[in-house]
């Protein structure tokens, strides 16, 4: 493996390149981004060695790290362009629709459906970090549908980047991510909106915002250009997670309204157990 091409040079695509350059400096990394400012920044920051809108013919691995609403078209176009020894890997946050779109493609075996569970609230190549993917989980869907020899190149990359592999069905991936990722972003956006609406009446409200508010609303700084397509692509699962969340909020509201401190305390004690679960996941 000598040549990598990255389409989408933002936080994930950029961080992937920087991490790979650190451990495999001999690799040549080319890339492209539809945002020409991002493309220029990526070249200036050393994320790519050369800019190329077309996938070079000698490319071993192509990474697709663009918003989910662009992935299907890009994937099909790229599959048509590359030779039989090139592997394509996507970094999309939803998997079911993308996998279905190429289920019967004659080059399906050259595609690895993936999702690195990593990110920050920032976007663009300037936000890229060479340690963002370190020890993070990388989910692979429909592993058995990818050519075993091409898949070996992907495993070499994941091992070099010290990533933890997990295997899921596309449907399972999207259902679980709706609860543990997509819902948390929606909650953060709506908390931000609630406080911004309140600020219209009280200009001093942010003077009282502490670290708890800052950490909870942090994700509200995430890119709408990335998250709006995710919410549409995974709509049914997200609506299910929202219904469950809203129902829990309504029950909790009633307990506050009734003035039953013991019920509130009992409920929160039960929820505290999530700390033990998250510690096990480290």
Q: Pick from 135, 168, 201: which residue ends a domain? A: 168
Q: Which domain holds residue 117?
A: 3-168
Neighbours of 102 (CB within 10 A): 20
User: Which domain CATH number covers 176?
Assistant: 1.10.3660.10
* Same domain, residue pair 163 and 177: no
- The Cα 88–Cα 81 span in angstroms is 11
For 48, counting Cβ atoms within 10 Å of its Cβ (0-12 exposed, 13-18 middle, 19+ buried), the class is buried
* Same domain, residue pair 128 and 206: no
Pairing of strands 111-116, 137-141: antiparallel
The answer to whether 107 and 79 have CB atoms below 8 angstroms apart is: yes
* Same domain, residue pair 122 and 157: yes
* Same domain, residue pair 164 and 216: no
Q: What does pTM read for this prediction?
A: 0.89
One-character DSSP codes across 102-147: TTT-TTGGGEEEEEE----S--SGGG--TTTTTT-EEEEESGGGS-
DSSP 80: H
With residue 270 as reference, give the H or E element that holds it.
Answer: helix 261-271
* Same domain, residue pair 154 and 106: yes
* Same domain, residue pair 157 and 197: no
* Same domain, residue pair 143 and 237: no
- Our count of domains for the chain comes to 2
pLDDT at 203: 66
Three-state helix/strand/coil letters over 164-189: EEEEECHHHHHHHHHHHHHHHHHHHH
Tokens 């549409």 sit on residue: 232
- The Cα 99–Cα 104 span in angstroms is 10
* Same domain, residue pair 72 and 184: no
* Same domain, residue pair 232 and 264: yes
The answer to whether 114 and 141 have CB atoms below 8 angstroms apart is: yes
Q: Pick from 168, 200, 231: which residue ends a domain? A: 168
Which among 223, 185, 222, 233 is positioned nearest to 35, based on CA atoms? 223
* Same domain, residue pair 66 and 136: yes
Q: Pick from 117, 144, 168: which residue ends a domain? A: 168
pLDDT at 215: 85
* Same domain, residue pair 79 and 194: no
User: Which domain CATH number covers 86?
Assistant: 3.40.50.720
For 115, counting Cβ atoms within 10 Å of its Cβ (0-12 exposed, 13-18 middle, 19+ buried), the class is buried
* Same domain, residue pair 135 and 182: no
pLDDT at 251: 94
Q: What is the mean pLDDT of each run of 10 residues along the chain (282 residues)?
A: 96 98 96 97 97 96 97 97 97 97 98 96 95 97 97 96 97 97 95 85 71 86 94 97 97 93 93 80 48
Percent helix, percent strand, percent coil in the chain, to nearest 5? 55, 15, 30
One-character DSSP codes across 9-57: -SHHHHHHHHHHHHH-TT-EEEEE-SSHHHHHHHHHTTS-SEE-SSPPT
| The two three-digit tokens of residue 101, written as one number | 């779109």
């Amino acid at each position: 493996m000598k040549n990598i091409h990255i389409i989408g040079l933002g936080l994930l695509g950029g961080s992937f390149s920087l991490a790979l350059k650190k451990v495999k400096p001999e690799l040549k990394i080319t890339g492209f981004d539809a945002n020409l400012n991002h493309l220029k920044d990526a070249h200036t920051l050393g994320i790519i060695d050369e800019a190329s809108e077309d996938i070079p013919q000698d490319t071993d691995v192509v990474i697709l790290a663009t918003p989910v609403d662009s992935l299907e078209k890009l994937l099909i176009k790229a599959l048509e362009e590359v030779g039989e020894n090139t592997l394509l890997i996507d970094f999309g946050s939803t998997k079911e629709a993308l996998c279905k779109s190429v289920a019967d493609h004659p080059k399906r075996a050259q595609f690895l459906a993936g999702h690195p569970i990593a990110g920050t609230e920032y976007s663009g190549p300037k936000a890229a970090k060479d340690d963002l993917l370190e020890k993070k989980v990388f989910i692979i869907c429909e592993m058995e549908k990818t050519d075993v020899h091409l898949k070996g190149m992907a495993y070499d990359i994941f091992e070099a980047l010290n990533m933890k592999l997990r295997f899921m069905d596309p449907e399972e991936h999207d259902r679980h991510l709706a609860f543990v990722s997509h819902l948390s972003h929606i909650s953060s956006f709506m908390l931000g909106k609630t406080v911004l609406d309140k600020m219209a009446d009280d200009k001093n409200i942010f003077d009282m915002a502490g670290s708890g508010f800052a950490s909870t609303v942090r994700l509200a700084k995430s890119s709408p250009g990335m998250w709006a397509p995710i919410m549409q692509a995974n709509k049914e699962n997200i609506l299910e997670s929202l219904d469950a969340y809203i129902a829990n909020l309504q029950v909790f509201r009633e307990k506050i309204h009734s003035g039953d401190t013991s019920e509130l305390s009992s409920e929160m004690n039960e929820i505290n157990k999530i700390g033990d679960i998250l510690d096990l996941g480290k």
